[in-house]
Amino acid sequence: MKTKLLISVTLLMIASVLLSACGPKAIFKDDFSDVNSGWDRSVMESGSTDYSNGVYRMNVTGANKTIWANPYKNFTDVSVEVDATLVSGTVNNDFGLICRYKDMDNYIKAEISSDGYYGIVKKVNGEKTNLTGSYVRTALVKQGNTTNHIKLDCVGSTITFYINGTQANSFTVTELTSGDVGLIAGTYDEPDTEITFGNFVVYQP
């Protein structure tokens, strides 16, 4: 009896270790090869969003404009990551990830810029708060026309942003607890920036 019990406990421990080794579970992923996977396909005065040869392309044509897109999902605690590439246009831009998106007045975004900055912003009931105080210069961002891997963890009240595998910053946000995920891109005084996104994955932490 003791031997059987010991074997059972050992097997449970092994199973637990194996499950832990598998890491977080992917609950939504998109390589953007299927143009019907649910993302916005829009043309507007400030730019356009659409699928393009296995990536998702966001083209911001105006100055001081922001566009975003969502897959129309709803999550609570998530870890979201994507590869983002500046294809053309100004490096004085910003682009990144969204979590807990309810509407245009309620969401959290974490962004980088192609000239080496990052910022984390919450918008609650239309009031925008830059959690980093302002956009912060960092060596974590690969500048210019290149690819950066970014990740945004929205787990409980803790919001954590990673740039190319390294944690950039973490904040507490209590007002927003669930919502959609998404992608975002924008310009400042200089118009025209074109960003492509690939390998979008949402994990359950």
Residue 116 gets which letter from DSSP?
S
Judged against a pLDDT cut of 70, whether residue 171 lies above it is answered with yes
Q: Is residue 16 part of a domain?
A: no
pLDDT at 147: 98
Helix (H, G, I), strand (E, B) or coil at 21: helix
Domain span at residue 168 reads 25-204
Distances (CA, A) of 41 to 45, 111, 168: 14, 21, 31
- pLDDT tens digits, one per residue of 109-129: 999 999 999 999 999 999 999
Q: Is residue 107 part of a domain?
A: yes
Average pLDDT over residues 147-163: 98
How many Cβ atoms are within 10 Å of 61's Cβ, its own excluded?
A: 18
Q: Is residue 57 part of a domain?
A: yes
| Domains identified in the chain, total number | 1
- Looking up residue 91, the CATH number of its domain turns out to be 2.60.120.560
pTM higher than the cut 0.95: no
Kindly report the length of the chain.
205
Q: Is residue 43 part of a domain?
A: yes
How far is Cα 157 from Cα 2, in angstroms, rounded to an integer? 45
Q: Is residue 18 part of a domain?
A: no
Q: Is residue 187 part of a domain?
A: yes
